[in-house]
Structure 1
Amino acid sequence: MQASLRTTSGRQALHLRRCFSAATPVAGRPRTMATAAAAGDKLPPLVSPEWLAERLSDPWVRVLDCCWYMPVHGRNNHADFRANRLPGARFFDIDGVAADAATARGLPHMLPSEQGFAAAMDALGITNDTTVVLYDHLGVFSAPRVWWTFKVFGHDKVAVLQGGLPAWRAAGLPLDTSPPPSDSHMFAASAACAAPPAAGSAYKARLDKSKVRSIDDMLANITTRREQVMDARSGGRFVGTEPEPRPGLRGGHIPGARSLPFPTLLEGGAYKPAPALAAAFAAAGLDPSQPVVGSCGSGLTACILALALYQVNGSLAAVYDGSWSEYGGREDVPVSTLPVDP
C-alpha cells in the first residue's frame, strides 16, 4: 500500500471539510462498531474519509468499491479497481450483481432477486450485521445506487463515503495499488448472483417491494398523481432537446415528472449540505414530505436523488428501476417534452 495525494481547489477542500464535520463528527478515540452500536449510535448515510480510516481494521466493517461509468466518461471500472482502491476494499459490480433476464432485454443493472443478492453478499463476506461503506471513483455517482440497493433489501447498516475516492486521496489517506488477489475473487459476487439459486445462504435478503416501481406503476401514476416523480437526467434530455446516450430511446419525460438533474445536488464531487438539498427539491417543485419516486436513464443516478432526499427527510424514496431505458424504449406510452407539466 502507498499513500496517494490528490490536489484539490481551495473551494472544494473547504466544502468537503464542512460536509465531513457537519455530517459525521469523528470521535477522538476509535471505537469498534459493536461498541458504537451498544452506545446507541446510528450510522449516518454519509461518512467522511477520517471516519472510515479509523475503522478500516474493524472486522465488522466492509468497504465496497462500486465504481461504474457511462461510456462518455471513457473509463473502465474493472481497470480502475485493479489500479487504485481503498485498503481492503472488495469490488461490487453494479452490472454483475443484477437481474440477468432484465439485462438481456436491454435494461442494465436492474435489481437482482433476493436469492441472487444474498448469494452475492455471501461471496463478499457480508452478513446482516456487517457495516458496509460504499464509494466510487467520481466522488458521488454510482455508490448511491448500491446504497439504495442495500436499503431496499433490508440492510440498514450502510453508508456512502462522502466525496468518494477523490476525497480519500485529498485527505492524504493510503490507497492499495497492488494487483487484486485474482479476477475470480474480484468477480465472485457477480458469479454468485448469476448462479442458480442455492438453499441455505447465510445472508438473509428481504426485498421491500414498496420501494420499487414498475412501468405499470408509473403509467397509473400519470392519472392518479399519488406520487411525485423526480427525474435525475439533464434538462435537455428531460425536454427532448438532447439525444439519449442509449440508442433507440425517445426524448422527453414521463408526464407529470419534475426535472432535478443530479449535479444540482453536488459540489466538488460531494453532496451539498442538507439545507441546500432541501432548497433544490423545493426549486424543482418537489415536496419532501410527500411520496416521491426517482427516475433517470437506467435507475442509477435516480439513487443520487434518493440519497439526497434521505438526508432531508430520513425516508427511503422509491425508484423506478427500469427508468428511461424501459419507458423511453416504448412507443405505446405517453411522453411529455414540456419544461413543466400542468
Structure 2
Amino acid sequence: MPYANPTSLVSTEWLSQHINAPDIRIVDASWYLPAENRDPKAEFEAAHIPGAVFFDIDEISDTDNPLPHMIPSPEKFSSRMRRLGLGDGNRIIVYDGSGIRSAARAWWMIRLFGHEDVAILDGGMKKWLAEGRETSDLPSHPAERHFTSRFNSLMVREKAQVRKNLETAKEQVLDARSAGRFSGAEEEPREGLRGGHIPNSKNLPFNQLISDDGTLKNSDALEVEFEKVGIDPKAPVITSCGSGITACVLAFGLHMIGHRRVSVYDGSWTEWGLDTDMPLSVGEK
C-alpha cells in the first residue's frame, strides 16, 4: 500500500533531479547526542548538499528555557526562517546526517509554524554520500524570504496536558526511546534524570521505523510496527522521547500512514523525568 502522504518524503534520485528548481530549498538539520562526539555545523561546513542551509535545532529554540531545544516563539522562528531564505512559496526538503532522525524534528517544527510544503529526504546525507552524489563546502548566503507563521497548537503538547491525560486517557502516549531507557533498566544520558516512563505509555523505539539502509520502512511495514505496540489508528497519539527529537520520527511515521491526530510532547522525558512531582512507571509496560 502506498504512503498516505507520499509528497512528505522524497528520494535522493528525486532531489538530484530537482535540486536546481527555483522553488526548492534544502535544509541540513543534523543534530547528535553529546556522546556521539559529532559537530553537525562543522560537518555541514565541510560537506553539504549543494545549496543547503544549516538549521540549528539547538539555536532555533527557546534558548531561555533550561530544557534542551524547546520550541521558540513564532516571532523567533519566523526570523530564523527568513534569514535562512526559507519562506512562503518554497518547497522545503530537510535531511540529516543520520538518515532520518533530527530531520523529522525540523520537518515537524516547520509544519508546526504553518508551512505545509516540507518533505524529508529519504536516507538523508548517508544515502546521498553512499551514492556518490555531489557535495559542496561553499558557505550559504541565502536571500531573505518572508515566512508567514501560523502556529498550530494541536501539534504540540505541554507537561500539564500530558499530566491531565493520565486522568482522561483520551490520547495514547507513545515513547520513541530504547526499550532499556523506557523500562528504566538503562541509565538516562542526562544527569539527574529518573529512569522509567510516563504511566500507561507504550514504547516504540524510533529506529524500528527505519530500514537497514537508513530509509523509512514502507507503509505496510510501518502499520505493522504501530499495531505491534497496540496503537489504535482511530485514536489520537502523543509522541514522546528523550528531549523531543526522535518523538518527531514517530510523528512522521504516523503521518506517512495517514494518522491525522498526532502531537509531540515537546519537553518529553527530560522535562517529565526531572520533575519529581510527575508520576512514572518502570518495567516493560
TM-score of the superposed pair, with normalisation by structure 2: 0.95
Matched, 1:64 2:27: yes
Q: Is the 8 A contact 1:86 1:175 kept in 2?
A: yes
Q: Is the 8 A contact 2:193 2:270 kept in 1?
A: yes
Q: Is the 8 A contact 1:43 1:158 kept in 2?
A: no
1:163 to 123, 131, 140: 123
Root-mean-square deviation over aligned CA pairs? 2.1
2:104 to 144, 149, 156: 144
Q: Letter of the aligned partner of 1:86 in structure 2?
A: I
Residue 159 of structure 1 deviates from its aligned partner by 0.1
Q: Letter of the aligned partner of 2:219 in structure 1?
A: A
Q: Is the 8 A contact 1:306 1:316 kept in 2?
A: no
Residue 290 of structure 1 deviates from its aligned partner by 1.2
Unaligned runs of 5+ in 1: 1-21, 24-41, 190-200
The residue number in structure 1 matching 2:7 is 44
Distance in 2 (alpha carbons) for counterparts of 1:179 and 1:240? 45
2:95 to 135, 142, 150: 135
Distance in 2 (alpha carbons) for counterparts of 1:316 and 1:123? 31
Distance in 1 (alpha carbons) for counterparts of 2:77 and 2:244? 17
Q: Letter of the aligned partner of 2:216 in structure 1?
A: Y
The size of the alignment, in residue pairs, is: 284
Q: Is the 8 A contact 1:229 1:258 kept in 2?
A: yes
Query: Residue 44 of structure 1: SS of its match in structure 2?
Result: helix
Q: Is the 8 A contact 1:288 1:312 kept in 2?
A: no
Q: Letter of the aligned partner of 2:232 in structure 1?
A: D
Q: Is the 8 A contact 1:43 1:159 kept in 2?
A: no
Query: Residue 7 of structure 2: SS of its match in structure 1?
Result: coil
The residue number in structure 2 matching 1:153 is 113
Alpha-carbon distance change, 338 to 109 in structure 1, aligned in 2, over 3 angstroms: same
Q: Letter of the aligned partner of 2:12 in structure 1?
A: P
Distance in 1 (alpha carbons) for counterparts of 2:6 and 2:79? 24
Query: Residue 133 of structure 1: SS of its match in structure 2?
Result: strand
The residue number in structure 2 matching 1:302 is 247
The residue number in structure 2 matching 1:273 is 218
Matched, 1:180 2:139: yes
2:156 to 208, 212, 215: 212
Percent of paired sites with the same residue: 43
2:69 to 109, 133, 146: 109
User: Which aligned runs of 4 or more in structure 1 are off by greater than 4 angstroms?
Assistant: none
Residue 338 of structure 1 deviates from its aligned partner by 3.1
Query: Residue 101 of structure 1: SS of its match in structure 2?
Result: coil
